[in-house]
Structure 1
Amino acid sequence: MYKLIAIDIDDTLINDNKEVTPATQQALEQAIAAGVIVTLATGRAYSSAQAIARQTGLNVPIITYQGSLVKNLLDEKVLYERYVPAEAIRKTFEFCAEHHLHLQTYIDDKLYAREENQKLIDYTNLNRTKYYVEPDFLKLASQPTPKMLIIDEPDYLDKIAPQLRELLGAEVHITKSKPNFLEITHQEGTKGHALKFLAAHFGCELAETIAIGDSWNDHEMLEAAGLGVAMGNAIPALKEIADYVTLSNNEDGVKAVIDKFVLQPQ
């Protein structure tokens, strides 16, 4: 019997219209009524994820910033938190300035960028996130952050990712949440680490957990979970490591998983 389900938001829980469908909403409610803990696991900031979690009626801790922050919805108590090491923040800021890259950083759950440009506007429209422009951007390099995000063309990000890994070292985790989003967190700021933490927090075995996602930043949690599920619209690499591939996010793939493995277990 599965006791904990962790669900990615973008292109997983929500469809291409950015909505949780009534059918998926009902499945979430049925899972909760059956005593299963349902949580979100997202690269989004807490403030952005919180709105969707509340809208879907969840009241448990949620995994945000790729796993760098696990926070209660009810009292907003922080249960798990990992910041990018200070030296890695400074080096990332310098690298992005030198290569004229669009960098976003998150401080006190607020999104900051050096300038307002189309990359920032498109990103914040996607996540419905408020943003702040700080022209003296380098001064933010001394502020603690759970996540930094570089936005650029997929091929270019693939080219600079190894350079950043070498520059920043083993203390950071670098992953892609979408083809044009390169995300930098603490090495323990992954959805996999956060899922392990939450399972222990709720006293359940990892074998009793389900993780559902669509992008490569979900692979650690799919590998950690008892049942790792890739969406029908997931990238091929994630489908290869998944235990099960469900329908797409436009076909209520999350509902299909809950129906099959939680409400009508074989």
Structure 2
Amino acid sequence: MSKYKLIAIDIDDTLINDDKEVTPGTQQALEDAVAAGVVVTLATGRAYASAHKIARQTGLNVPIITYQGALVKNLLDEKVLYERYMPIDAARKLFQYCIEHNLHLQTYIDDKLYSREENQKLIDYSKLNNTQYYIEPDFEKLISQPTPKMLIIDEPDYLDELIPIFRELLGDGVHITKSKPYFLEFMHKEGTKGAALAFLADHFKCDLSETIAIGDSWNDHEMLEAAGLGVAMGNAIAPLKELADYVTASNNDDGVKEVIEKFVLSQQ
């Protein structure tokens, strides 16, 4: 038997290649892992609505980690197992700051993406994630509603400058991370892939030492650090590779397949 019982895989630039596809080789490896009794799940910053399409295409039927870990939901009956909402007072402060500094802010309510206005950032984002969006000019009325994630889109260097400002402004009840260089994301402090992985390990009665986490971006670092085996993709950012236990091939070279074959299937 493989000593690993649960594998959590990031979607973008990890499970899917640059053509946004799960290759046949990787698909086969996922199926082989499941056949070997391993729980295979996804862990993504994407909304559930966007993530579940990919999960279903790959034939998975387990709970998946979405919104960076703020929502864990069953694929079969869509039952919510774990959810953490952004603190409302912090959401208001973030909204005010974005209005004053003319920043593009978007939020998710009931798994729908909302923005105050239509612009190129929103259009590009929705194309990238294959997500429908809704425009709500009276954004203030959305802010008081529970959201698992808020997101600012801007230039990477500018976002890096904003992070310490937001940490100060929003306090330690909020988890701030970058999923991609242009995306700055805000969740509840327990809305991390690491916290969600710990929750799922407990849910499936396995130890964190029996889990594998695979990712490419900084928003994956909590789950790589929490997992028994933290794997960075060959195309991952340098800081993630430095803390990973293993660096696999890139997302265009079946890196996920390599991990499953090396650490799960060969241990049978």
TM-score range, shorter chain: over 0.9
For residue 91 of structure 1, what is the aligned residue in structure 2?
A: 93
Deviations 1:28-66 (A, max 9, x none): 000000000000000000010000000000000000000
For residue 196 of structure 1, what is the aligned residue in structure 2?
A: 198
SS in 1 for 2:256: helix
**Aligned equivalents of 2:60 and 2:101: distance in 1?**
41
**Aligned equivalents of 2:61 and 2:146: distance in 1?**
27
Deviations 1:139-177 (A, max 9, x none): 211111000000000000001111001000000000000
Matching of residue 167 in structure 1 with residue 155 in structure 2: no
Q: How far has the Cα of 1:263 moved from its partner?
A: 0.4
**Aligned equivalents of 2:106 and 2:256: distance in 1?**
30
5+ long unaligned stretches in structure 1: none
Letter in 1 for 2:80: V
For residue 34 of structure 1, what is the aligned residue in structure 2?
A: 36
For residue 77 of structure 2, what is the aligned residue in structure 1?
A: 75
Q: What are the residue-to-residue correspondences of 1:93-112 with 2, within 5 Å?
A: 93-112=95-114
Q: How far has the Cα of 1:135 moved from its partner?
A: 1.1
Matching of residue 55 in structure 1 with residue 57 in structure 2: yes
Letter in 2 for 1:147: K
Between 236-245 and 130-139, report the one with greater CA deviation.
130-139
For residue 115 of structure 1, what is the aligned residue in structure 2?
A: 117
**Aligned equivalents of 1:139 and 1:4: distance in 2?**
40
For residue 234 of structure 2, what is the aligned residue in structure 1?
A: 232
Q: How far has the Cα of 1:246 moved from its partner?
A: 0.1
Q: How far has the Cα of 1:265 moved from its partner?
A: 2.8
For residue 15 of structure 2, what is the aligned residue in structure 1?
A: 13
SS in 2 for 1:165: helix
What fraction of aligned residue pairs are identical, expressed as a percent?
A: 80
5+ long unaligned stretches in structure 2: none
Q: What are the residue-to-residue correspondences of 1:177-256 with 2, within 5 Å?
A: 177-256=179-258
**Aligned equivalents of 1:262 and 1:53: distance in 2?**
20
For residue 24 of structure 1, what is the aligned residue in structure 2?
A: 26
SS in 1 for 2:141: helix
Q: Normalised by the size of structure 2, how large is the TM-score?
A: 0.98
Deviations 1:214-247 (A, max 9, x none): 0000000000000000000000000000000000
Deviations 1:75-121 (A, max 9, x none): 00000000000101101110111110000100000000011111001
Letter in 2 for 1:84: M
Q: Normalised by the size of structure 1, how large is the TM-score?
A: 0.99
**Aligned equivalents of 2:20 and 2:126: distance in 1?**
13
**Aligned equivalents of 1:161 and 1:135: distance in 2?**
26
**Aligned equivalents of 1:125 and 1:86: distance in 2?**
29
Q: Number of residue pairs matched?
A: 266
Deviations 1:174-209 (A, max 9, x none): 000000000000000000000000000000000000
